[in-house]
Amino acid sequence: MVRLALRMMSLLLLCAGVVAATVDTIASVSASRMILTPLSSVWADVSPTSLYKLQEILEVRFGMGTWTAFHDTLLPQPAFVVLFALSLVFWMLGYKKPSLAGRFAA
């Protein structure tokens, strides 16, 4: 059941990454220059209150330096790259190794 949830989360993140990459591609073609939307602006557009709650949680539990590191390293990255990376992580967590004996083993 947990593997199914992890794979579903991977699929949702993959779909969101494809949408973000498509939007960036369309914007880049229409502007005739490369446009990469940072994760911070996508997150602020989708759910700004959750970003502030995350900031509050990180500052209270782990200190101000944690939020600064998160804000300076992860949030400026292109949204589609972060979504694809998270999708890969969730897929790896939900991956089931094939049997060593093969498909038709008893």
Q: For the chain, which ranges sit under pLDDT 70?
A: 105-106
Strand partners, 38: 78
Strand partners, 78: 38
- The reported pLDDT for the residue numbered 71 is 92
- The reported pLDDT for the residue numbered 27 is 96
- The reported pLDDT for the residue numbered 85 is 98
The alpha carbon of 100 is separated from its chain's Cα centroid by a whole number of angstroms, namely 32
Q: Rg (Cα) of the chain, in Å, rounded?
A: 18
- The reported pLDDT for the residue numbered 106 is 60
Write down the domain spans for the chain: 1-36+79-95, 38-77
- The reported pLDDT for the residue numbered 90 is 98
